[in-house]
Amino acid sequence: MRFGVVVFPGSNCDHDAWYAVSHNLGQPAEFIWHDSATLGNVDAVILPGGFSYGDYLRCGAIAKFSRVMQAVRKFAAEGGLVLGICNGFQILVESGLLPGALIRNRGLKFICRPATLRTETIHSPFTREAGKGSLLTIPIAHGEGCYYADDRTLDELEAEDRVAFRYVDNPNGSLRDIAGILSRERNVLGLMPHPERASDPLMGSVDGLALFRSMVSSMAVR
């Protein structure tokens, strides 16, 4: 499975995501420049963490206008797998590929720590290998990761089984403890925690590999 990792000016987890899928997972992976009109020959796209375009205005608000995001929208509409991590999640909600918004952490401070996530659904190409209800230790590192949406949207996400992960110990005030959500077609996942930081035994956890492995195995059965 060929992964493409988008590089925006200000992305800073691009290399980490690339390293996780190429070195820890052993899949081919390449970088895609933000100015690119096409995604090339990739099977899945990762929007990595960081501070795209400095995150001025609002996190992800400028990235949504980048040329590559037009290609990502098209790719997603055609059923391609899109994984947005942290800033990537913020870009996905700003772009309208996922509902809701990510606002300042309840404590108003940046938080970096390992978080425990509960896998809420295994019916997705990103979680099929994780095991329903399984607990994953995956770090968070964000200042604006509080997931927010109106009640109707939240009800809808739950009714459609689109909440992929919840925090066991909510660190940032996210409504209904939501850490990651799926698109209606289930081929787009956005989450605040960083699975690429939990893909190497040296980093203290390999639970993040479950996501990447799920993507690979879902590709095989497509």
Partner 1 sequence: MEAITPDIIQAHQLTQEEYEKIVSILGREPTYTELGIFSVMWSEHCSYKSSRLHLKKLPTTGKHVLQGPGENAGVIDIGGGYAIAFKIESHNHPSFIEPFQGAATGVGGILRDIFTMGARPIAVMDSLRFGPLDDPQAGARNKRILEGVVSGIAHYGNCFGVPTVGGECVFEPGYNGNPLVNVFALGVFKTDEVFLARACGLGNPVIYVGAKTGRDGIHGASMASAEFTEESQQKRPNVQVGDPFLEKLLLEACLEAMRTGAIVGIQDMGAAGLTCSTCEMGSRGGTGIEIDLALVPQRETGMTPYEIMLSESQERMLLVAEKGREEEVFAVFRKWGLDAVAVGRVTNDGMMRVKNHGQVVAEIPSKQLADDAPLYDRPHTQPRRSAPMEGPDFRSVSLQQDLEALLASADICSKRWIWEQYDYMVRTNTTQGPGGDAAVVRIKETGASVAMALDGNGRYCALSPREGARLAVAECCRNLSVVGALPVAATNCLNFGNPERPEIMAQLVEAIEGMGEACRFFDTPITGGNVSLYNETLGEPIDPTPVIGVVGLLDTGAPLTTSFKYPGRAVLLLGGAGQCDLRRFGGTQYAKVVLRAMWGLPPELDLDYEKRVQEAMREIARAGLAESAHDLSDGGLAVAAAECSFGPAGVGVHLDLECDLRPEFLLFHEGPSRILVSTARPEEVRAIAARHGVEAPRVGDTIKNRLVIRNRGTVHVDRDVARLKELWSGALEKMLRA
Considering the candidates 13, 59, 86, 146, report the single residue annotated as catalytic.
86
Closest CB to partner 1 among 110 and 131? Answer: 110
Which residues, in sequence order, are bridge partners of residue 146?
A: 103
Considering the candidates 94, 120, 144, 196, report the single residue annotated as catalytic.
196
In this chain, which stretch among 110-118, 127-135, 145-153, 161-169 interacts with partner 1, using CB under 8 A? 110-118
Q: If binding is defined by CB under 8 A, does position 220 make contact with partner 1?
A: no
Q: What is the 3-state secondary structure (H, E, C) of the chain?
A: CCEEEEECCCECCHHHHHHHHHHHCCCCEEEEECCCCCCCCCCEEEECCECHHHHCCCCCCCHHHCHHHHHHHHHHHCCCEEEEECHHHHHHHHCCCCCCEEECCCCCCCEEEEEEEEECCCCCCCCCCCCCCCEEEEEEEECCCEEECCHHHHHHHHHCCCEEEEECCCCCCCHHHEEEEECCCCCEEEECCCHHHHCEHHHCECCCHHHHHHHHHHHHHC
Least Å distance between CB 150 and partner 1? 30
Report the residue from 4, 16, 80, 166 that binds partner 1 according to the rule CB under 8 A.
16
- Whether 13 is catalytic is no
- Whether 15 is catalytic is no
Q: If binding is defined by CB under 8 A, does position 30 make contact with partner 1?
A: no
Pick out residues in 123-162 that bind partner 1 (CB under 8 A). 139, 141, 143
Of 134, 127, 56, 132, which is closest to residue 90 (Cα–Cα)? 56
One symbol per residue from 56 to 95: x for binding partner 1 (CB under 8 A), - otherwise; what is it? x---------------------------------------
Residue type at position 80 = G
- Whether 194 is catalytic is yes
In this chain, which stretch among 51-59, 65-73, 93-101, 174-182 interacts with partner 1, using CB under 8 A? 51-59
Q: Which residues here bind partner 1, judged by CB under 8 A?
A: 9-10, 12-13, 15-16, 19-20, 49-51, 53-56, 109-113, 139, 141, 143, 194, 196-197, 199-203
Catalytic residues: 86, 194, 196
